[in-house]
Amino acid sequence: MNLTDVINKMSLRNKIEQLSQFRLTRDDFEEMKDKLKNECIGSFILADSATAGNAELKPLTREQINEIQKVAMENHGIPLLFGHDVIHGHKICMPIPLALSASFNPELVENSYKYIAEECRNDGINWSFAPMLDLCRDPRWGRIIECPGEDPYLGEKMAEAVVKGFQGDDDKINIAACAKHFVGYGTAEGGRDYHRGEISEYTLRNYYLRAFDSAVKNGVATVMNSFNEINGIPNVCNKHLLTDVLRGEMGFDGFVISDWAAIEQLTNNGIAEDKQKAAELCLDAGIDMDMVDCCYYDNLEKSVEEGKISIKTIDEAVMRILSVKEKMGLFENPYFETVEYSKEKHRQISKELATESIVLLKNNNNTLPLDKNQKICVMGQMANDKRAVLGSWSLDCDINETVTIYDGIKSRAENTFYFDCSIPKDRTLEDTYDTDVVIVVIGESDKITGEANSIASIELSDEHKHLIKCAKKLNKKVIGILSFGRPRAFESVIDDFDALLYAWHGGSQIGNAIGDILFGDSCPSGKLPITFPRMTGQIPIYYNCTATGKGVDGYYNKILSHPNYWDTESSPLFPFGFGLSYTQFEYGQINVQQSVISLEEIKEGKTFDLSINIKNTGDFSAKEVVQCYIKDCLASMVRPQRELKLFEKVMIQKDKSQTVTFRIGAEQLGFYNSQGKYIIEKGDFRVYIGSDCLANNYVTISIK
């Protein structure tokens, strides 16, 4: 199809309509159908509220969507995109994205998004507003649940997985993905949603842009701006970022959509005097499609007449949108067919992901796994909750699919009962309840996570603490299952638990995943994708920070001469990459074939090849995430104490060993300097390989 011909035949009015997105629900179906008779709208968002993550939906059927597509095709011949926030599942819910990162299993994540894509197409969705790639170091921020965590490399891997999963491997894009929110939304000060952030060029490129870069390299079709302002410029009108960096440097060739009514919001923060000005600023900056606020739709004709926007700028934006539609094959086949998919397979992968994302934080004296014949007392309302465990952005998901934590336990161990902490007046706790072990499930509502749902304190609530106290009174071993959307601070109660599992908001199959892990049918293999602070006041705390110049080990600010704080330890409660197993892995020595390579050779593609042998010396066959971190020992800028550069999740049978190899080259050894240039410098590098970011097994390699 010659898209230039298509554009040449379009009127200015039609072109502007093509740059506009309207909302579409059951309520406005007829009105929108009528509208399409005359207007060449670019896309619909299948939602009617700005906080779609927690608002009730009024979905249309696939037949209705085909009907509306037919009107567009018959009247203009340009297919519509139907966008929706499918963040971590559509009908069957996967764990929240932060938990998906905890699985450290991008392959499994990619497969799950292939399944999610099947559910989407079956419901008339061909564009999903995911993956969310905002690097985040602040658990107070509600949207942390949607993000890949604190590490740029993990973010890159998750970006690749979701984009490939949605868009598919063929040349033709299956479901268009949308990398959001470009960029630095996770820096919102104090974790207050939508608030400003400050990011230097150095930090932007070495941390915040990297997951987006990976999405672009993997062909992501669309990008969405972030609401907030960085360094004084709202991202929705930041031409440097949207055009120079995203398109120019990163080579993005899809189109950019504004976030919900973000263009109009420029009139609130004093950047634009009216919506026309706002529209002009954003189109010029590089926003191609306007989400729902009609700033383009109502104003751009006038802007062209007044010579403020050129037809060329409009045509370029239209071209980018039509090119994506063409890559999706929509001109030939704009309609949705029934997709026969296996619910059972979707359940299975949801269970696998939930299992692999659960992190074992503590297991004193091998409390876990449990014996199925024991008497088990389960406490805490969260154990019976079907909604909160799905997390935010899951309202399309079928709540009847949720296997609760209690059901997951009960279905495996008959002698399980639920105890709600109420003791008959004339009895004592011990008389009333005869049990071998207590499982206390605590968590948070999905309603205090997600968009516009931040919290000021991440410490556990009094209610949580009361429940734990009550569990302790039974004088038996206490196992904690924590089901939260974000890291929470629980240092004050950690000694109350004999074993502790962090289960996140784990999706439809959380109960089965917990059940398998508790009784040893699966071995925990999740690792923390983000640092867990001891208390709110430590935020931000992240593993890839730099050292200070005080002759101290700045790594997690473990100051040798004086503490960071007098009222708490400097280290986090749990470090990035941490997670126990039921088995033990013994890491051998790191072997490196050639430990000195010249800078020229590195630039030409030569690599340091490292290998390490890992032995499973315990009683369980299990998966291990082998993590490779690098510390750049001498550089022209202060470099992080260490950075995750590669990882591999491997299954190692008990009593067996496995060799893992890592290839380290230009991609792992350089960094962006303060001028935004990627440089590789001569010097020594320490390569650590181990089971979390505190690994102390290292070799030194040098670039001469």
| Active site residue ranges | 259
559 vs 550, 551, 564, CA distance in Å?
Answer: 9, 9, 7
Q: Taking CB under 6 A as the rule, does residue 260 contact ligand BGC?
A: yes
Q: Taking CB under 6 A as the rule, does residue 129 contact ligand BGC?
A: yes
Among 574, 474, 514, CA closest to 382: 514
CB nearer ligand BGC, residue 393 or residue 647 = 393
658 vs 256, 622, 699, CA distance in Å?
Answer: 44, 12, 19
CB nearer ligand BGC, residue 394 or residue 627 = 394
Omega of the bond prior to 183 within 30 degrees of 0, cis?
yes
The least CB distance from residue 223 to ligand BGC, in Å, is 12
CB nearer ligand BGC, residue 147 or residue 370 = 147
* In 426-499, alpha helices (H): 429-432, 462-473
CB nearer ligand BGC, residue 225 or residue 668 = 225
Q: How far apart are CA 689 and CA 658, in angstroms?
A: 14
The least CB distance from residue 185 to ligand BGC, in Å, is 8
Q: Is 170 exposed, middle or buried (0-12, 13-18, 19+ CB in 10 A)?
A: exposed
Q: How far apart are CA 214 and CA 565, in angstroms?
A: 37
Question: Using CB under 6 A, which of 6, 32, 36, 47 touches ligand BGC?
Answer: 47
Question: Using CB under 6 A, which of 76, 90, 180, 527 touches ligand BGC?
Answer: 180
| Residue 188 structure tokens | 């919102």
| Residue 42 structure tokens | 């670019």
Question: Using CB under 6 A, which of 6, 24, 46, 52 touches ligand BGC?
Answer: 52
Q: What residues does 478 pair with on adjacent strands?
A: 438
The least CB distance from residue 49 to ligand BGC, in Å, is 8
In the DSSP assignment, the letter for residue 50 is T
Residue count at the site for ligand BGC (CB under 6 A)? 9
Q: How far apart are CA 225 and CA 460, in angstroms?
A: 33
* Strand ranges (E), 24-64: 43-45
Q: Which helix (H) or strand (E) holds 222?
A: strand 222-225
Q: Taking CB under 6 A as the rule, does residue 502 contact ligand BGC?
A: no
Strand order in the sheet with 376-379: 359-363, 499-502, 477-483, 437-443, 376-379, 416-419
Q: Taking CB under 6 A as the rule, does residue 256 contact ligand BGC?
A: no
Task: Mark the segment that binds ligand BGC (CB under 6 A) among 45-53, 338-346, 505-513, 591-599.
Answer: 45-53
Q: Is 316 exposed, middle or buried (0-12, 13-18, 19+ CB in 10 A)?
A: middle
CB nearer ligand BGC, residue 156 or residue 259 = 259
The least CB distance from residue 134 to ligand BGC, in Å, is 10
Among 341, 331, 438, CA closest to 383: 438
CB nearer ligand BGC, residue 85 or residue 385 = 85
Q: Taking CB under 6 A as the rule, does residue 439 contact ligand BGC?
A: no
Question: Using CB under 6 A, which of 123, 264, 451, 624 touches ligand BGC?
Answer: 451
Task: Mark the segment that binds ligand BGC (CB under 6 A) among 47-55, 367-375, 493-501, 674-682.
Answer: 47-55
Beta strands at 222-225 and 255-257: parallel, antiparallel or unpaired = parallel
Q: How far apart are CA 434 and CA 475, in angstroms?
A: 10
Site string for ligand BGC, 75-114 (x = CB under 6 A): ----------x-----------------------------
Site string for ligand BGC, 276-305 (x = CB under 6 A): ------------------------------
How crowded is residue 550: how many other Cβ atoms within 10 Å of its Cβ? 11
CB nearer ligand BGC, residue 24 or residue 612 = 24
Beta strands at 81-84 and 127-128: parallel, antiparallel or unpaired = parallel
Q: Taking CB under 6 A as the rule, does residue 50 contact ligand BGC?
A: yes
Give percent helix, percent strand, percent coil of the chain, each to the nearest 5.
35, 20, 45
Radius of gyration of the chain (CA): 26
Among 282, 275, 258, CA closest to 43: 258
Q: How far apart are CA 454 and CA 486, in angstroms?
A: 10
Q: Taking CB under 6 A as the rule, does residue 140 contact ligand BGC?
A: no
Task: Mark the segment that binds ligand BGC (CB under 6 A) among 5-13, 44-52, 235-243, 568-576.
Answer: 44-52
Omega of the bond prior to 181 within 30 degrees of 0, cis?
yes
Task: Mark the segment that binds ligand BGC (CB under 6 A) among 46-54, 480-488, 564-572, 597-605.
Answer: 46-54
The least CB distance from residue 586 to ligand BGC, in Å, is 44
CB nearer ligand BGC, residue 127 or residue 556 = 127
CB nearer ligand BGC, residue 52 or residue 321 = 52
The least CB distance from residue 146 to ligand BGC, in Å, is 8
Question: Using CB under 6 A, which of 123, 138, 259, 692 touches ligand BGC?
Answer: 259
The least CB distance from residue 224 to ligand BGC, in Å, is 6
Residues within the interface to ligand BGC (CB under 6 A): 47, 50, 52, 85, 129, 180, 259-260, 451
